[in-house]
Amino acid sequence: MSTLIQPHGSKELNPLFVYDSAQNEKLRAEAQNLASILISSAAAGNAVMLGGGYFNPLTGYMNKADALSVADNMHTAGGLFWPTPVLNLVEDAGSVKPGDRIALKDPNVEGNPVLAVMDVAAVEEFSDEEMEAMTQAVYGTTDPEHPGVAAFNGSGKVALSGAIQVLNFSYFQSEFPDTFRTAVEIRNEIREHGWSKVVAFQTRNPMHRAHEELCHMAMDRLGADGLVIHMLLGKLKPGDIPAPVRDGAIRKMVELYFPPNSAIVTGYGFDMLYAGPREAVLHAVFRQNMGATHLIVGRDHAGVGDYYTDFGAQEIFHDIPEGSMKIEIFEADHTAYSKKLDKVVMMREAPDHKKEDFVLLSGTAVREMLGRGEAPPPEFSRPEVAKILMDYYQSLSS
The catalytic residue positions are 204-205
The Cα 92–Cα 96 span in angstroms is 9
Contact yes or no for 250/256 (Cβ under 8 A): no
The pairs formed by 63-69 with CB atoms below 8 angstroms and a separation of 24 or more are: 63/121, 63/122, 63/124, 63/159, 63/161, 64/122, 64/124, 64/126, 64/130, 64/159, 64/161, 66/161, 67/126, 67/134, 67/159, 68/130, 68/133, 68/134
**Helix or strand or coil: residue 160?**
strand
The whole-angstrom separation of Cα 236 and Cα 291 is: 25
Dihedral class, residue 111 (left if φ above 0, else alpha if ψ from -120 to 50, else beta): left
| Residue 124: its H or E element | strand 114-125
Contacts with 77 (C-beta within 8 Å, 6 or more apart), sequence order: 65, 66, 69
Burial of 305 (0-12, 13-18, 19+ CB in 10 A): middle
Nearest in space to 282 (alpha carbons), one of 12, 24, 21, 58: 58
